[in-house]
């Protein structure tokens, strides 16, 4: 068992799959010689060479378009979009071409490609570089969407995404890149569409994603220790496919659902989970579903304002005390 940072686990996951399958290629902006703007791809160029690790122009359309063409012709590309906000630049290609190719060719063309991108707030980059946009991708039929919260999940989910026959977008929360965690030695391949129960409780079920998983766990400890409220914490990990079965089972045990979402409230992923729970698990609920989210505003650049916008441990604790206690 090795201890890796989240960023090193990204490189480890990519390297594992490039070593295993020579069809796996990697391309993006400043990903080769520079090792990535977030230093998530250090060493890949030296290990696999410039034919398989390629720097691209500053053009999201070029990066994603090259990955799409490569996938159509038998390769298994991994494309990096530096900031998830920049998906908007190439969104037509992602949402209208890549997501629909298998359907519109009656299965004659598959696109086994991965798009990796740095997502979310915490680095004070402002409204154009700090958004959480996983719900954009979740809304497009034909895309699979994952968002790992730990180094082990990063490596395992990247491997699973590369081996999947369909396009997968991997959202990496940029504030987690320096976080360390244990990663099993040897080959690690996770499973898309599997949530993970990280903590068992009796009073409410907190469902969270990426950075919010760690804040939910910290809040759950405070709630138990200081207020006698026992909370289950579920890491969603995969938005598409969504492990509704695990979420429903945990909500049925506690009778209360709380979602903690970094994305803006309107049409966030928690709204879909709330809808599923209300439909499938209504008679097990002891009270209204609670969503803790960012407000529907552009993310501020100022430190204190950004912190006030994103759900904090204190806000999670206070909201659950008010609504669940």
Residues in the chain: 325
Task: Find all residues with CB under 8 Å of 51, minimum gap 6, and list them.
Answer: 25
- Tell me the C-alpha distance between 37 and 57, whole Å: 14
- Tell me the C-alpha distance between 92 and 114, whole Å: 16
β-partners of residue 199 are 233
131, 106 Cβ separation under 8 angstroms: no
SS3 content of the chain, % helix, strand, coil (to 5): 40, 20, 35
Measured at the CA of 124, the angle between CA 119 and CA 126, to 5 degrees, comes to 75
Q: Is 214 a catalytic residue?
A: no
- Tell me the C-alpha distance between 244 and 253, whole Å: 14
- Tell me the C-alpha distance between 32 and 51, whole Å: 11
Task: Find all residues with CB under 8 Å of 96, minimum gap 6, and list them.
Answer: none
- Tell me the C-alpha distance between 181 and 26, whole Å: 25
- Tell me the C-alpha distance between 83 and 69, whole Å: 22
- Tell me the C-alpha distance between 221 and 231, whole Å: 8
Helix (H) or strand (E) holding 223: helix 211-227
Helix (H) or strand (E) holding 90: none
Task: Find all residues with CB under 8 Å of 228, minimum gap 6, and list them.
Answer: none
Task: Return the active site residues.
Answer: 129
């Amino acid at each position: 068992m090795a201890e890796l940072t989240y960023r090193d686990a990204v490189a480890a996951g990519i390297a594992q799959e490039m070593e295993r399958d020579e069809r796996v290629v990697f391309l993006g902006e400043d990903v080769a010689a520079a090792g990535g703007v977030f230093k998530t791809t250090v060493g890949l160029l030296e290990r696999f060479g410039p034919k398989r690790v390629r720097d691209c122009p500053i053009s999201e359309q070029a990066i994603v378009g090259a990955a799409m063409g490569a996938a159509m012709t038998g390769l298994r590309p991994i494309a990096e979009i530096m900031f998830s906000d920049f998906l908007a630049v190439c969104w037509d290609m992602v949402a209208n071409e890549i997501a629909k190719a298998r359907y519109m060719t009656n299965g004659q063309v598959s696109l086994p490609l991965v798009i990796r991108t740095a997502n979310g707030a915490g680095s004070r980059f402002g409204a154009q570089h700090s958004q959480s946009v996983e719900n954009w991708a979740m809304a497009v039929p034909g895309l699979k969407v994952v968002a790992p919260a730990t180094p082990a999940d990063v490596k395992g989910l990247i491997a699973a995404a590369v081996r999947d026959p369909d396009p997968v977008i991997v959202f990496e929360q940029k504030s987690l890149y320096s976080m360390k965690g244990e990663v099993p030695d040897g080959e690690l391949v996770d499973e898309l569409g599997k949530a993970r129960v990280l903590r068992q409780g009796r009073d409410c079920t907190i469902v969270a994603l990426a950075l919010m998983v760690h804040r939910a766990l910290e809040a759950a400890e405070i709630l138990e220790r200081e207020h006698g409220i026992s909370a289950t914490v579920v890491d969603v990990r995969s938005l598409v496919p969504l492990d509704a079965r695990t979420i429903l089972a945990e909500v049925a045990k506690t009778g209360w659902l709380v979602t903690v979402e970094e994305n803006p409230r309107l049409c966030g992923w928690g709204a879909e989970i709330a809808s599923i729970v209300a439909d499938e698990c209504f008679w097990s609920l002891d009270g209204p579903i609670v969503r803790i989210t960012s407000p529907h505003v552009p993310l501020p650049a100022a430190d204190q304002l950004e912190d006030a916008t994103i759900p904090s441990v204190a806000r999670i604790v206070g909201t659950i005390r008010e609504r669940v206690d």
